[in-house]
């Protein structure tokens, strides 16, 4: 079921405006930069309004500009507001060096930047101020290597088209580009033989049959996959029965092209046979 109250927060430059615009296009009543202490009263007021039925829900963006120094009070009011039925706290973030690059390229001013602090200091300060919100997030999305379109597709599939039950994403990634911070479980495939060092396989991916055959010929691949599959499939029912709505399982290798893609493809097929809505994503695979 699509949540009726969506709170968007996260680092400046991580995609909050894009997320809010998408939700507005989807028929949500949207408000930017609302102080957390006003969230509960605001949501109740809008949802009780006579014309509320024309909207699909309420979406509110909360960022560091709207947080006060009384973080305990802000945290309590936010938590109370999110106890309402069908609510979701979405937190968007990116690696500091990515945020720094984005602000440098667009020449935008960081909202917490000033004459007495640099851009890196403003990014670090903002991250500290938003820790209490990140700690309560239902869905955390790392946008470090997401294009605007991929971000919109991710929000559409995981929020707007949300199904009842646990929302599961299986993804591959490249360790050389950093571990995705939005992953709940991270598995390392770098102990397996690397197809990259085979000339005929170097330009292929873990989706291609020659690479699959190469990996399956090594007993270590099947042994690792069996352990991975057993752990994930045995863990999913516990998460599904808990209050968790989202789960991301990430499998990494050096370049995110061969071994991790192969394992993610296999794992997704097995998970999807039980949880039909499971998503597959290759974070660093170049099409």
pLDDT value of residue 210: 97
Q: What stretches of the chain adopt beta strand conformation (E)?
A: 5-10, 28-32, 57-61, 87-93, 139-142, 167-174, 185-188, 246-253, 279-282
Gap between the Cα atoms of 114 and 248, Å rounded: 37
pLDDT value of residue 84: 60
User: Which residues on neighbouring strands pair with residue 187, listed in sequence order?
Assistant: 251
Q: How does pLDDT run along the chain (287 residues), one tens digit per residue?
A: 567 889 999 999 999 999 999 999 988 889 888 887 788 788 778 877 777 788 888 899 988 776 654 555 555 666 666 666 578 899 999 999 999 999 888 878 888 887 778 888 989 988 888 888 888 888 999 999 888 888 888 888 888 876 567 889 999 999 999 899 889 999 999 999 999 999 999 999 999 999 999 999 999 999 999 999 999 999 998 887 776 778 999 999 999 999 999 999 999 999 999 988 899 999 998 76
pLDDT value of residue 10: 92
Q: Determine the Cα angle at 168 with ends 166 and 250, to 5°.
A: 145
Among 125, 15, 115, 143, residue whose Cα is nearest residue 69: 125
Crossing angle (nearest 10°) for helices 16-25 and 148-155: 50
Contact assessment for residue 262 and residue 193, using Cβ atoms and an 8 Å cutoff = no
Domains, the chain, in order of start with CATH, read: 5-160 (3.40.50.300), 167-282 (no CATH)
Please name the residue that has the structure tokens 């609510």: 87
Structure-token pair, residue 179: 């571990």
pLDDT value of residue 66: 64
Crossing angle (nearest 10°) for helices 209-216 and 219-241: 100
Contact assessment for residue 261 and residue 172, using Cβ atoms and an 8 Å cutoff = yes
pLDDT value of residue 141: 93
pLDDT value of residue 214: 97
pTM for the model = 0.71
């Amino acid at each position: 079921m699509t949540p009726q109250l969506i709170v968007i927060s996260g680092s400046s430059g991580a995609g909050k405006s894009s997320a809010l615009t998408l939700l507005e296009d989807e028929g949500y009543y949207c408000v930017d930069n609302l102080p957390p202490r006003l969230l509960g009263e605001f949501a109740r007021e809008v949802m009780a309004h006579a014309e509320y039925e024309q909207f699909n829900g309420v979406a509110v963006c909360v960022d560091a500009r709207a947080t006060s120094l009384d973080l305990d009070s802000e945290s309590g009011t936010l938590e109370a507001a999110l106890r309402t039925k069908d609510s979701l706290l979405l937190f968007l973030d990116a690696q500091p060096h990515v945020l720094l690059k984005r602000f440098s390229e667009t020449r935008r001013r960081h909202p917490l930047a000033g004459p007495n602090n640099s851009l890196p200091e403003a990014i670090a300060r903002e991250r500290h101020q938003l820790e209490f919100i990140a700690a309560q997030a239902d869905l955390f999305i790392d946008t470090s290597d997401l294009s605007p379109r991929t971000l919109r597709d991710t929000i559409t599939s995981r929020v707007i088209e949300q199904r009842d039950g646990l929302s599961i994403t299986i993804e591959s990634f490249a360790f050389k580009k950093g571990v995705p911070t939005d992953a709940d479980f991270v598995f390392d495939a770098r102990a397996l033989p690397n197809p990259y060092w085979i000339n005929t396989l170097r330009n292929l991916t873990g989706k291609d049959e020659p690479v699959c055959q190469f990996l399956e010929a090594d007993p270590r691949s099947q042994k690792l996959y069996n352990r991975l599959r057993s752990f994930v499939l045995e863990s999913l029912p516990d998460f599904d029965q808990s209050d968790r709505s989202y789960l991301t399982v990430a499998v990494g290798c050096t370049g995110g092209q061969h071994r991790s893609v192969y394992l993610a493809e296999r794992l997704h097929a097995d998970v999807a046979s039980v949880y039909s809505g499971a998503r597959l994503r290759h974070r660093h695979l170049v099409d």
